[in-house]
């Protein structure tokens, strides 16, 4: 067989030996050796292959699968701008700690030097965003290749898991022609090529070439030591944080509100309480146990900036969430506290939480339907048990946290590494593909339109059971809640921030062959949220002109209710 075919088959075999179960492939010419090898492995039942023609969507699909399974997922493309289109997902995987294995095919050096077509400099294309980069030597018919190829796959796999934190890795693979199996011995995938100068077999009994260390071990812990403490739980370890907090009597505030976190100490309205200066003045914790990296709410950042508060970081990324640089401890998990919590402290937080969530519920019930918050509240309440909910950036992630609905039996995923709207539909489809229960996504219209190609699924590909709920307010509703939405900027707001688009989501869905439902009432939304097989879109149309006023009314209602206590 030719060297490119031999190399590709060995690489795929070693990936499988390193426990790969899903691979995402975008078609191309230069990556043909890998495409054939992956198809052979999928046909043999050794892995599940997902094919997507849009590289950006493909990479986010792989990211969604990797985030949900916790296992590295390879994503494969041809050379040139195809590799550049992986970059947004690589950046998200870096900051979110998702193990992504990027395999980019390339021209060999002699073609790069001759002005060949479809050539860019792919070496270290993703810069510092990857945990490890290597470029394989061009495959040759000589001894020593098998061990080299297999060893490098193990190094890539090892780096994706990371000793401290998982993340993306990049392996650039120059292929020399011929790029397709040429019909010579061994090219049919059966039998051994006796003309190859060495055996291309892996280790006996399917073992990986190089055994990896156990990165599941937890070598470092933070040790809380305050009677008046508070847990801030982000995406990493939310459920474990709820269990720990309940055991030790600490109130816990999650960036996903009451979703995905259990226990009697979970404060579903915690984000509202952190925004009340009067409440926080009398309820400033001595220590904050911050799990992951908070990215949504400024009131959380203000709390972490308080120099009177000791910050304990658990599983942070490379940029510590510590605006005041007052971190006391950093670790991979949390240990037993050295002091018992003050039960009166927890009781005060729970009473305030009950008042805040009731105020939010009553205020939303009195408002005209729909708003982002009312849709988030309805969605959270209606989800079947053990559902996956993928939440888009901008308003949806805020609405879910502020809705005040407790659903500990829901698993939440958010792309909060760099908090962009890139690839959210593809991420949701990837995560839903491997989630065993019902799956939902909640996104805004711009997020939906930005990744519309995520709906593009070939006839040979499977579509997961996923309901995508789109809050369509015809533009950038998030900006009305920020400084850009203040009255003095009203003259320029719509053109450069509001950006109304007038797109017909129903027609777009029809073009992609995806069922679409317009939910024009609460009852219609509840009906549309009933679990059904396949991929579908539920659209709720809203008027964003009242966003800012609604949030002001909610803040006032929460402040009155908590102050009355």
Place of tokens 């294309």: 125
CA 400, 404, 407, 412: dihedral to nearest 10 degrees?
A: 20
- Greatest CA separation found in the chain? 85
Please say whether the beta carbons of 239 and 254 come within 8 A. Answer: no
Q: For the ranges 63-77, 332-346, 531-545, which has the lowest average pLDDT? A: 332-346
CB-CB neighbours of 228 under 10 Å: 19
pLDDT mean over 496-504: 94
Q: How many CA atoms lie within 13 A of 127 on its CB side?
A: 5
Residue 213 confidence (pLDDT) above 70: no
pTM of the model: 0.94
Residue 157 CB partners (closer than 8 Å, separation 6+)? 15, 18, 72, 101, 208, 212
Classify residue 277 by burial, with Cβ atoms within 10 Å: 0-12, 13-18, 19+: exposed
Distance CA 84, CA 92 (A): 14
**pLDDT-above-90 percentage for the chain:** 80
- Taking alpha carbons only, the member of 189, 165, 172 closest to residue 119 is 172
Local confidence band at 186 (pLDDT 50, 70, 90 cut-offs): low
Instruction: Identify the H or E element spanning 505.
Output: helix 505-512
The 3-class secondary structure across 146-165, one letter per residue, is HHHHHHHHHHHHHHHHCCCC
Instruction: Identify the H or E element spanning 289.
Output: strand 287-291
Q: Which comes out higher in pLDDT, residue 461 or 163?
A: 461
Q: Are strands 535-541 and 466-472 parallel, antiparallel or unpaired?
A: parallel
Local confidence band at 189 (pLDDT 50, 70, 90 cut-offs): low
pLDDT (0 to 100) of residue 215: 55
pLDDT (0 to 100) of residue 293: 86
pLDDT (0 to 100) of residue 316: 67
In 18-54, which ranges are continuous DSSP H helix? Answer: 32-43
DSSP state of 89: H
**Which contacts qualify for 38-45: CB closer than 8 Å, 24 or more apart?**
38/12, 38/76, 40/9, 40/12, 40/189, 41/12, 41/13, 41/16
Place of tokens 């809050």: 471
Place of tokens 């402290």: 345
Local confidence band at 320 (pLDDT 50, 70, 90 cut-offs): confident
**pLDDT-above-70 percentage for the chain:** 95
Mean confidence (pLDDT) of the chain: 92
Distance CA 475, CA 421 (A): 13
DSSP state of 495: I
Place of tokens 């073609």: 111
pLDDT (0 to 100) of residue 214: 54
Instruction: Identify the H or E element spanning 314.
Output: strand 310-314
Residue 205 CB partners (closer than 8 Å, separation 6+)? none
- Taking alpha carbons only, the member of 130, 150, 143, 409 closest to residue 263 is 409
Q: Is the peptide bond before 370 cis (omega within 30 degrees of 0)?
A: yes
Side by side, the strands of the sheet bearing 169-174 are 48-51, 22-25, 73-77, 100-106, 169-174, 133-135
Q: DSSP for 472-483, please give it.
A: E-SS-GGGGGSG
pLDDT (0 to 100) of residue 487: 84
Q: For the ranges 8-22, 79-93, 173-187, which has the lowest average pLDDT? A: 173-187
In 44-183, which ranges are continuous DSSP H helix? Answer: 55-69, 81-84, 87-96, 109-112, 145-161
Local confidence band at 482 (pLDDT 50, 70, 90 cut-offs): confident
For 223-278, write each residue's pLDDT tens digit: 999 999 999 998 767 888 888 999 999 999 999 999 999 889 999 999 999 999 99
pLDDT (0 to 100) of residue 190: 56
* Token couple for 228: 């008046």
Rounded to a whole number of angstroms, the CA Rg of the chain reads 25
Classify residue 285 by burial, with Cβ atoms within 10 Å: 0-12, 13-18, 19+: buried
Local confidence band at 118 (pLDDT 50, 70, 90 cut-offs): confident
Distance CA 267, CA 261 (A): 9
Local confidence band at 6 (pLDDT 50, 70, 90 cut-offs): very high
Place of tokens 């579509």: 463
For 327-386, write each residue's pLDDT tens digit: 888 887 888 999 999 999 999 999 999 999 999 999 999 999 999 999 999 999 999 999
CA 58, 60, 64, 67 torsion: positive or negative?
A: positive
Residues forming beta bridges with residue 374, ordered by sequence position = none
Residue 303 CB partners (closer than 8 Å, separation 6+)? 230, 232, 274, 280, 284, 288, 309
b/e map of 350-382 (b: 16 or more CB within 10 Å)? eebbbbbbebbbebbeeeeebbbbbbbbbbbeb
Local confidence band at 183 (pLDDT 50, 70, 90 cut-offs): confident
The alpha carbon of 65 is separated from its chain's Cα centroid by a whole number of angstroms, namely 9
Please say whether the beta carbons of 432 and 465 come within 8 A. Answer: yes
pLDDT mean over 92-103: 95
Q: For the ranges 266-275, 317-326, 470-479, which has the lowest average pLDDT? A: 317-326
pLDDT (0 to 100) of residue 564: 61
């Amino acid at each position: 067989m030719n060297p490119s075919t031999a190399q590709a088959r060995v690489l795929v075999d070693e990936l499988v030996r390193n426990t790969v179960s899903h691979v995402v492939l975008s078609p191309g010419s230069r990556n043909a050796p890998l495409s054939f090898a992956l198809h052979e492995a999928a046909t043999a039942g050794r892995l599940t292959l997902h094919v997507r023609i849009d590289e950006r969507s493909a990479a986010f699909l792989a990211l969604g699968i990797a985030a949900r399974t916790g296992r590295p997922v390879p994503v494969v493309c041809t050379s040139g701008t195809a590799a550049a289109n992986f970059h947004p997902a690589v950046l998200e995987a870096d900051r979110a700690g998702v193990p992504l294995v990027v395999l980019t095919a390339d021209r060999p050096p002699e073609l790069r030097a001759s002005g060949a077509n479809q050539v860019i400099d792919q070496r270290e294309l993703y810069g510092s965003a990857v945990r490890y980069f290597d470029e394989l030597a061009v495959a040759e018919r000589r001894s020593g290749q098998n061990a080299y190829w297999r060893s490098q796959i193990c190094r890539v796999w090892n780096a994706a898991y990371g000793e401290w934190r998982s993340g993306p890795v990049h392996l650039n693979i120059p292929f020399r022609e011929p790029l397709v199996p040429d019909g010579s011995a061994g090219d049919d995938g059966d039998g051994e090529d006796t003309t190859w100068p060495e055996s291309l077999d892996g280790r006996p009994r399917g073992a990986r070439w190089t055994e990896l260390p156990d990165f599941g071990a937890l070598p470092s812990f933070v040790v809380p030591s305050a009677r008046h403490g508070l847990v801030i739980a982000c995406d990493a370890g939310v459920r474990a944080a709820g269990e720990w907090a309940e055991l030790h009597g600490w109130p816990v505030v999650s960036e996903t509100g009451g979703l995905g976190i259990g226990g009697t100490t979970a404060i579903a309205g915690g984000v509202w309480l952190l925004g009340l200066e009067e409440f926080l003045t009398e309820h400033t914790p001595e220590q904050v146990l911050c799990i992951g990296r908070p990215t949504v709410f400024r009131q959380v950042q203000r709390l972490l900036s308080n120099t009177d508060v000791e910050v304990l970081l658990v599983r942070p990324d490379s940029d510590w969430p510590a605006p005041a640089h007052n971190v006391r401890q950093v670790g991979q998990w949390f240990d037993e506290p050295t002091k018992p919590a003050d039960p009166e402290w927890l009781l005060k937080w729970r009473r305030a939480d009950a008042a805040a969530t009731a105020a939010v519920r009553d205020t939303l019930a009195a408002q005209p339907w729909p708003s982002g918050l009312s849709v988030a509240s309805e969605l959270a309440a209606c989800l079947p048990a053990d559902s996956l909910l993928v939440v888009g950036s901008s308003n949806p992630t805020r609405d879910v946290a502020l809705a005040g609905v407790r659903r500990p039996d829901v698993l939440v995923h958010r792309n909060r590494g760099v908090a962009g709207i890139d690839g959210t539909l593809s991420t949701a489809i990837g995560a839903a593909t491997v989630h065993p229960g019902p799956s939902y996504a909640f996104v805004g219209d711009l997020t939906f339109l930005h990744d519309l190609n995520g709906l593009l699924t070939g006839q040979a590909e499977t579509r997961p059971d996923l309901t995508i709920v789109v809050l369509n307010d015809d533009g950038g509703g998030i900006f009305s809640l920020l400084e850009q939405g203040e009255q003095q900027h009203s003259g320029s707001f719509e053109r450069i921030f509001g950006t109304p688009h007038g797109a017909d989501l129903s027609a777009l869905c029809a073009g992609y062959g995806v069922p679409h439902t317009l939910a024009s009432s609460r009852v219609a939304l509840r009906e549309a949220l009933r679990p059904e097989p396949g991929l579908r879109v539920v659209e709720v149309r809203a008027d964003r002109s009242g966003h800012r006023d609604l949030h002001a009314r909610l803040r006032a209602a929460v402040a009155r209710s908590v102050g009355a206590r």
